[in-house]
Amino acid sequence: MSGNELPPALSIPVAVLAECRPGVTVWQARVWRPLAVLEEAPPVPPMTKLREEDGREVWFAGTAMVAIQRTDTPNYRENLSAAEPRIWVLLRPVGETVELAAVTVDPGEAEIFTEGPHDILEALPLPPGIAVLLASFVDQHHVERQFHKRKRDRQDSDSLGRRGRA
């Protein structure tokens, strides 16, 4: 954390499952994608294969902390008001496997995650317990801010005149 960032007002621990399946092209032997976000982690180390069926593998990708900031409550409200609130998971390829890079409930932050050319971002359903915590946080900390449009300063018309000739 850099010196000018505020510490998170709330950190929510989550666990992530990932799916690995065979690729469909010669250039990609395996395809990874986030599969689910759990409110409790299974009692195994990160990147443990949990099951395999029909060539598809389910892996425990690891745990992460979802940082909730007071200044981002408008984005959280937008997410919570959607028909299906989401949580975004970012996986980063590392050789033949992946690492859990980030998890967020902020749609604005998730949009920034799309900039990595090889990163894998997936919007998953927001687990109910996390939705309750997030809604409570928003109710407690959200401050409605009025939009204030700045007005341009008017230029002094005399200053726009021609220069005097000598």
Q: Which of 72-76, 87-91, 99-103 has the lowest mean pLDDT?
A: 72-76
Strand ranges, E, within 78-153 = 86-94, 97-104, 120-125
> Is the pTM for the entire model greater than 0.85?
no
Contact 113, 104 (CB under 8 A): yes
What pLDDT digit, counting tens, does each position of 46-65 carry? 999 999 999 899 999 999 99
- Confidence at 143, pLDDT banded by 50, 70, 90: low
Number of domains present in the structure of the chain = 1
CB of 18 closer than 8 Å to CB of 33: yes
Q: Give the pair of three-digit tokens for residue 157.
A: 């018309």
Given a cut of 80, is residue 95 above it in pLDDT?
yes
Residue 2 lies in a domain: no
Range of the domain at 22: 10-143
Any domain includes 32? yes
Confidence of residue 1 (pLDDT cuts 50, 70, 90): very low
